Amino acid sequence: MKVSKYEFNSQEQAEEKIAALPHLTYEDGNEYATHSHTIVKIGYIVIEQGEYDDEGEETKPPVLADKYSVDVLWNEAEITTVDEEAILDEDGMVVTPEVTSVDHPYGWKTKALDLEDEGVHKFFGVTYQDNKM
Amino acid sequence: MAIPKLALIPAAQGDKFYSLLPSDGLGDFTFTRGSSATRINAQGLIETVSDTSSRLNYDLLNGKVDSCPHYILEPSSTNLITYSEDFSNSIWIKSNASITANQIVSPDGGLNADLLTSSSGSSLHSVNNNTSQTVTVGDNITLSVFAKKGTYSIIQLTSSTFYSIYANFDLENGVVGSYSSTNASIENLGNDWYRCSFTDTVIGTANSRIQINIVENLQSIRNSNFDAVGNETVYLWGAMVENKTFKTSYIPTTTTIITRAAETATDSGDSELFNDSQGVLYIESKSFDNTIALNRKIVLGDGTLSNGVEFSYQTTTNKIQFIIRAGGSISLGIETTAFDVTEFTKIAIQYKLNEGKVFVNGNQIGATYTNIVSPTINRLDLKFGSGFNFEGKVKEIRVYNEALTDVELASLTTI
């Protein structure tokens, strides 16, 4: 598993990238995701807390970031590409092992963040720092 | 009656869904979940399991552990509040109330449940989580908290930012009082602990805030003042806010909000194990909710969308669908809404050349179909093609490689 954090210019831009991930169009005409990545729409992160009265009612709304945040727990197998095939000898033994690489899907890399902490969200039992791409 | 070729009876957890039959492991399902998760163990305690482990989960019936466990397959969910167990943290705003940390044993078995004590006087007595995680207006939202009576037993669950929605709970008798939300429930976890929850739609300014009030009675309106003596107490643990139409297994948080990944169980058996000319697919399972957003399927087929003996929970309330599909053509299609899908039901789909039928809870549903075309069968999946992953609780799955009599099908599926 790989964990990545992204910032998009808008929710619409994020939704566009998410919709471009593998999916199928079923017989009912709707489209369904066929990937097994876990995508969490964090949304516009609060950068300045709102204010609330004694009963907890909001008296001043929070200030939100202008970027739309998304965290993804990528299924590594589904974002791995084979760069060089393995070379086998006559007996089928590996002479040169396969070369693979793991990367963000198309259009995601430029939106990726490189944080030095865990940010505002984590996946249960999986740290960003130990698993980031 | 014939002996099944495959029998999944939840008895162990690990990197598979383990089938009792066949004993060589061919019937085991590949299990995946990208994160840790919690389950209720055989002692009735909530415990965390790692990302590599399936979950053998135990329901609690009236506070007592059901001796028969099930495998649980949940969707991804995020607990949208921080410090879900630490009500003494400053993220929890105390209003005419105080919190004393770590007073009694919580539902996870640790000495980490907090005590909420009202102050004296007529006012709102509450704790209010101030996590500023935005949620989308119009989304479904479910709030939950584990609570136990102290010197007092009536609490109200609400949110300061979803305006007007609330539910009242009686921790003495385990009942839900008045509520304004879509639904509300109280689950007896034993030892006087209850998980109180309700579901509604996000309106108003949308932050993931949850508030627990000590209120006068089960009919108290939202955020009503209560003339407290000042020694009214209840115990709290494990609060959760999630973008779901139902509560899912508890996700503990501290400094950040946390997501549990979805889980799948797929690819049991092969063409040698199963008989694609005749047989029976038997399942005992239940759904998490009466109405779901996407069809959830269990399919004895070939991993494609074209062949399979299919069982599914459908998006229409309480609808169960049964299909036999071969070469892309459906030769049996039966639907029913006669059962509460959030209760365990026993279903059997029999397939045989020119004879297909369905039994649910001891009775045949629909007609016997006489134009059945046998599908290609070489695997059993708790999904359909590449999607429609099954979500729910599974107590048993069997595959018989021969047709059964109506008496046997009725006996097999009788609750």
- Whether the Cβ atoms of residue B155 and residue B147 lie closer than 8 Å to each other: yes
Nearest to A34 among B128, B130, B386 (CB): B386
Does residue B203 register a pLDDT over 90?
no
**Residue range B147-152: mean pLDDT, rounded:** 98
Q: Average pLDDT of B367-389?
A: 93
Contact A121 B51 (CB under 8 A): no
* pLDDT value at B257 more than 60: yes
B4: preceding bond cis by omega (within 30 degrees): no
CA–CA separation, A40 and B249 (whole Å): 18
Does the distance separating the beta carbons of A40 and B256 come in below 8 Å?
no
Q: Which of A38, A46, A52 sits opposite B259 (nearest CB)?
A: A38
Confidence class for position B248, pLDDT limits 50, 70, 90: very high
Least confident interval from A28-42, B130-144, B299-313: B130-144
Please check whether residue B301 is in contact with residue B388, taking contact to mean a CB–CB distance below 8 angstroms.
Answer: no
Chain B's closest residue to A75, CA to CA, is B34
Q: What is the residue-averaged pLDDT of chain A? A: 90
In this prediction, residue B160 has a pLDDT band, given cuts at 50, 70 and 90, of low
A58 and A31 Cβ atoms separated by less than 8 Å: no
pLDDT in tens, A26-66: 777 777 888 999 999 999 998 887 777 666 567 887 888 99
- For residue B291, give Cα distances in angstroms to B67, B92, B223, B317, B414: 28, 33, 30, 4, 24
Say if residue B60 is exposed, middle or buried (CB neighbours under 10 Å; 0-12, 13-18, 19+): middle
B130 neighbourhood in chain A, CB within 8 Å? 49, 52
ipTM of the complex: 0.92
Rounded to an integer, the average pLDDT of B118-133 is 91
- CA separation for the pair A29, A34 (Å, rounded): 15
Mean pLDDT of B182-199: 94
Residue in A55, A59, A126, A129 to test binding to B, most B beta-carbons within 10 Å: A55
pLDDT at residue B205 tops 60: no
Closest-CA residue of B relative to A26 is: B305
Residues with Cβ within 8 Å of residue B6, at least 6 apart in sequence: B19, B21, B22, B27, B268, B269, B273, B274, B380, B397, B398, B399
Task: Give mean pLDDT, residues B120-136.
Answer: 87
Between B280 and B165, where is the model more confident? B280
pLDDT at A28: 74
* pLDDT score recorded for residue B332: 97
Q: Which residue of B has its CA nearest to A2?
A: B34
Give residue B377's pLDDT band: very low, low, confident or very high (50, 70, 90). Answer: very high
* Residues in chain A closer than 8 A to B76 (CB atoms): 38, 40
The residue of A10, A26, A60, A124 whose CB has the most chain B CBs within 10 angstroms, and thus the best one to mutate to test that interface, is A124
Q: Above 60 in pLDDT, residue B347?
A: yes
> Among residues of chain B, what percentage have pLDDT more than 70?
98
Locate the chain B residue with the closest alpha carbon to A30: B294
- Walk me through the domains of chain B, giving residue ranges and CATH numbers: 6-75+263-413 (2.60.120.200), 79-260 (2.60.120.260)
Q: In the prediction, which pLDDT does B1 show?
A: 86
Question: Other C-beta atoms within 10 Å of A122: how many?
Answer: 24
DSSP label at residue B220: P
Instruction: Judge whether B69 and B284 are in contact, CB under 8 Å.
Output: no
Classify residue A82 by burial, with Cβ atoms within 10 Å: 0-12, 13-18, 19+. exposed
Residue B290 has a pLDDT of 94
Residue B182: pLDDT band (50, 70, 90) is: confident
**C-beta atoms of A120 and B256 within 8 A:** yes
Residues of B in contact with A56 (CB under 8 A): 93, 95, 126, 128, 160, 209, 211, 223
Q: Please tell me what DSSP assigns to residue B22.
A: S
Residues of B with CB under 8 A from a CB of A: 32, 34-37, 48, 50-51, 76, 78, 93, 95-96, 124, 126, 128, 130, 132-136, 160-161, 205, 207, 209, 211, 223, 251, 255-262, 264, 294, 305, 385-388
Is pLDDT larger for residue B274 or for residue A32? Answer: B274
Of A62, A71, A124, the CB nearest to B37: A124
State whether A24 and B387 contact (CB < 8 Å): yes
- Contact residues on chain A for B386, CB-CB shorter than 8 A: 22, 24, 34
The pLDDT of residue A47: 86
Residue B76 has pLDDT above 60, yes or no: yes
pLDDT of residue B132: 72
pLDDT tens by residue, B212-222: 999 999 999 99
Nearest by CB: B205 against A33, A55, A58? A58
State the best of B73, B127, B132, B299 to mutate against chain A, taking most chain A CBs within 10 Å.
Answer: B132
What does the pLDDT read at residue B162?
60
pLDDT digits (tens, 9 = 90+) for B398-415: 999 999 999 999 999 998
* Contacting residues of B for A71, CB less than 8 Å apart: 259
Give yes or no for a contact between B126 and B184, defined as CB atoms under 8 angstroms apart: no
Mean confidence (pLDDT) of chain B: 94
Residues of A in contact with B124 (CB under 8 A): 54-55
What is the pLDDT at residue A127?
95
Q: What is the Cα–Cα distance from A63 to A60, expressed in whole angstroms?
A: 9
Give the Cβ contact number of residue B328 at 10 Å: 11
Per-residue pLDDT at B202: 79
